[in-house]
Structure formats: structure tokens, C-alpha cells
Amino acid sequence: MSLASARTQTARFVVQLKHYVATAPSIYFTVLVFYIFFIVRRCESLLPPANGFIVGQCLTEYSSVCHMQCNAGYVANGDKYRVCDVGPNNVMEWTGSPWQCIGKTVH
């Protein structure tokens, strides 16, 4: 698998296992080949909110947690932590509500 294909939304990994069985002094042998396919399910990439930023890495694999903070002078509206999870329709999605950084009002 090339590095380019490994970065796509859905990656496939193939593991090939071989098992050889021979009985002495026979020259016959059996080859069993198993192919196991894994599909890596991912959420869409999250972008930082206007007037805010993502803390650390924000991976898109199942159960990844993304953390958001707002710039100075702004407060968070929405969930600061969001988790990549399987939604009700078996679709990968982020938990919680979208992030927003709202400007503080001065009294």
C-alpha cells in the first residue's frame, strides 16, 4: 500500500497468513491462505472555529477525542471536547455540538 492511499478516508489493510503442512517423507504439502480485510472508519476532519484553535492532534479515527479552545477575549459555545463515534445510522460522526468562539461583551 502506498503512503498516498493510506491517507484516504477509508484505508484497506491486507494480512496474508500462510500455513504449510507436510508429512515426512511426503513431498505433498497444503497451503492455506487467509485474507483478512480491515476497513478503518473515520470521521470527517474538524476545523478550528473562528477565533479559536484545536489543542494538540485532532485525529479522525474511531474514539479519537478533539479539544478546542478559544483565543483570548472569546468564550466557548458548544462542546469543547468532541469524540469520533458511530452515529445512529451507522455513520461516523462527531459527538456534541459544533464549536463556536463568541466575543465577550464588555459592560
Asked if the bond preceding 25 is cis, omega within 30° of 0, the reply is yes
pLDDT of residue 41: 84
d(CA 78, CA 43): 18
pLDDT of residue 29: 60
Q: Is 5 helix (H, G, I), strand (E, B) or coil?
A: helix
pLDDT of residue 4: 38
All cell numbers assigned to 62:
474511531
pLDDT in tens, the chain (107 residues): 333 333 333 434 344 445 555 455 556 666 677 777 777 789 999 999 999 999 999 999 999 999 999 999 999 898 889 999 999 888 999 999 988 999 886 65
For 5, phi then psi, to 5°, come to -75, -25
Domains and CATH numbers, the chain: 3-39 (no CATH), 52-103 (2.10.70)
Q: Are strands 29-39 and 74-77 parallel, antiparallel or unpaired?
A: unpaired
What DSSP string describes 45-58? Answer: PPPPPTTEEEES--
The length of the chain, given as a count of residues: 107
